[in-house]
Amino acid sequence: MTNKDWECVACTIDRKPDYPDLFDTIIIGAGPAGMTAAIYAARRKMKILLICGKVGGQMMWSSDIENWTGVGQATGPELTRIFFDHVRKVDNDNTHFDLWVREDERVEHISGSFDENFTIKTNTNKTFRAKTVICTTGKIPRTLNIPGEKTAMQGNGLSFCATCDAPLYKDKKMVIIGGGNSAMDVALQLEKFTDSVTILAYEKKLMGETCMMDKIEKSPKISVEYGIDTKEIMLDKNNKVTGVKVLQSGTEKMFECEGIFEEIGQIPATDFLADFITLNKGKEIPTDRTCNTAVPGFFAGGDCTDQIHKQVIVAAGEGAVCALEAHEFILKH
């Protein structure tokens, strides 16, 4: 993944070797919800471990965020940098705050309870214990699960993040699978790099913001095909993308291309919780208004929960609520 706006931060893993045996809270995820939770929890003098996954979360996929109060307009990577600089400032202030940050690490398993403490295992085989847990794992891209897809996504021409990968496709013939705001956003990003962008929409019309549809309609570089059911991603003998095989109104067709973006929505990143907490049908974590879940001491905020409005500012607000609730919870118990 490359991105001019985002320069990878130095990994802070094990920079502070003196890990406590028991944290007050472990925050899983470093999107707007997780980063805000870390800042709030630190200010309540909690001992915190922030296990980031990929810093920024979905903000890193957005080319334009215009509704973060006080900033007006920023790319997702720019806003991520502002958020994470704040977290790092807290992380570096050893005198006042007890925050440990682990980047590029994922939680794979969680067990326990508030009474016996929670135990978290990560993909680096590390185990951490905490009195409370704040889950802010957000969402990940939905995939089609069709032939060719798994190979194509291993750096062979199938991407999910235009903000990160669009520059890799300079002058290439591109296809975007999807027909909503995300698909249109990607098309408008791609037209800055190439003259040939085709949106393959499942529905008979594009679904989303009218102003984006207007831009798509006016662009000489972007065309839209409707009623598309994508069946297979075609690869050459070197496993590079050569096109997509589809059914369009029942007729088999092939769209040749050198790169594909799949923009068919997101699913909650909650698989690792399957044997820990009951999820709703959409795999979201049920929460109440104060981000409490069915498991005492386990809080959840942002896009991984069943709250309706999936936005940066809502996620950040819920991150703050999670931290304040976790702090209260420890005091009460």
Ligand X SMILES: Cc1cc2nc3c(=O)[nH]c(=O)nc-3n(C[C@H](O)[C@H](O)[C@H](O)COP(=O)(O)OP(=O)(O)OC[C@H]3O[C@@H](n4cnc5c(N)ncnc54)[C@H](O)[C@@H]3O)c2cc1C
Q: Which residue has the tokens 């957005």?
A: 62
Shortest distance (Å) from residue 131 CB to ligand X? 19
CB 50 within 8 A of CB 38: yes
Phi-psi region of 53 (alpha: psi -120 to 50; beta: other; left: phi over 0): left
CB 199 within 8 A of CB 178: yes
Sign of CA dihedral 228, 231, 234, 239: positive
Using the minimum distance from each CB to ligand X, give the nearer residue, 129 or 310.
310
Q: Which residue has the tokens 């979360």?
A: 57
Using the minimum distance from each CB to ligand X, give the nearer residue, 254 or 274.
274
* Residue among 6, 23, 25, 32 that touches ligand X (CB under 6 A): 32
Helix axes 312-332, 32-43, angle to 10 degrees: 40
Q: Does 37 bind ligand X (CB under 6 A)?
A: no
Q: Does 119 bind ligand X (CB under 6 A)?
A: no
Which range of residues in 210-218, 238-246, 249-257, 311-319 is near ligand X by CB under 6 A?
311-319
Write out the two tokens for 130.
């905490």
Angle at 142 between CA 213 and CA 109, to 5 degrees: 145
* Residue among 26, 33, 228, 291 that touches ligand X (CB under 6 A): 33
Q: Does 175 bind ligand X (CB under 6 A)?
A: no
* Residue among 80, 136, 156, 230 that touches ligand X (CB under 6 A): 136
Q: Does 138 bind ligand X (CB under 6 A)?
A: yes
Which range of residues in 133-141, 146-154, 213-221, 285-293 is near ligand X by CB under 6 A?
133-141
Residues of this chain that interact with ligand X (CB under 6 A) are 28-34, 51-54, 57-59, 61-62, 65, 67, 106-107, 136-139, 182, 185, 269, 272, 302-303, 310-313, 315
